[in-house]
Structure 1
Amino acid sequence: MSESELPPLTPETFWAILREEVSDQTVNQLLAYYLGYRYDPVEQAWDTRLVEESWRSEYPEPPDFIANRPPVVKLTRSIPTANKQLLKEKLGFPGYKIGEFTPRHTRRATAVNWLLSYLVEHGEA
């Protein structure tokens, strides 16, 4: 999916991710794109020149963040401490109630927090 096909990084998109109105595949594509992964259709391979070395070496292709715990743990650890509460600060997200959430919900919340952090770190929030 090219950048123009991805949903914009807006509060509406973030809420749609949290409400599971955006597919897991699209969430993964957003994360991959903003981590720097680009698919080269001519080479039929991932171009990782824009991907930070620690991600590139561990994940030469974008991982499935929603289905797999290790890449989302790495994503969580890559969020600067000052940005860990952006879901609450920027969106007013109260969190999930006990018994209402699954690991998939938590991973989607982490994805949104990471994307918010990306915006803050790049002066776009």
Structure 2
Amino acid sequence: MSDLPPLTTETVQGIVDERLDDDTVHRLVWHYLGYRFDETTQAWNNDLVEPVWQEKYPEPPLFIESRPATVQLTRSIPKPNKQLLKEKLGFQGYTIDQLVPRLTRRATMAGWLLSYMAQNNLLDV
């Protein structure tokens, strides 16, 4: 997964603006959740994944297709970080005609990545 874009606010903005494809967005979130794909065994390794995720999702979930996985991702964002999309990127949300699961789930993944960045001192908060 060395072909992932760097984890920056510009990358996160690209998620919200749909400049990054869904596969890349998934791979970014999986990487920072701790999932690693072992090319040798052709299987996912979840040794770095938090136990709550390991138990429910031994393999990385497709967040865009899975409401339950996206809900768990949302709940894993600490309360102080819930507004980072708005505070750091000026994201005002979507208009009524844009409220479709794919876009809102991408926004959730972007918000989770910003929270990850904040928790790991990769973002000015």
TM-score, normalising length: structure 2 = 0.94
Cα displacement (A) at 1:70: 0.8
Q: Which residue of 2 aligns with 1:18?
A: 16
Q: Which residue of 1 aligns with 2:41?
A: 43
After the TM superposition, which residues 1-16 of structure 1 pair with which residues of structure 2 at under 5 Å, given as runs? 2=1, 4-16=2-14
Q: Which residue of 2 aligns with 1:89?
A: 87
Cα displacement (A) at 1:115: 0.1
The gaps in structure 2 that reach 5 residues or longer are none
Aligned length: 123
Instruction: Point out 4+ residue stretches in structure 1 off by more than 6 angstroms.
Output: none
Query: For 1:13-43, what per-residue CA distance to the aligned partner results, in whole angstroms no more than 9, with x for missing partners?
Result: 1222112221111111001000000011112
Which range moved further: 72-81 or 38-47? 38-47
Q: Structure 1: how far apart are the matches of 2:54 and 2:74?
A: 17
Aligned-residue Cα RMSD (Å) equals 0.9
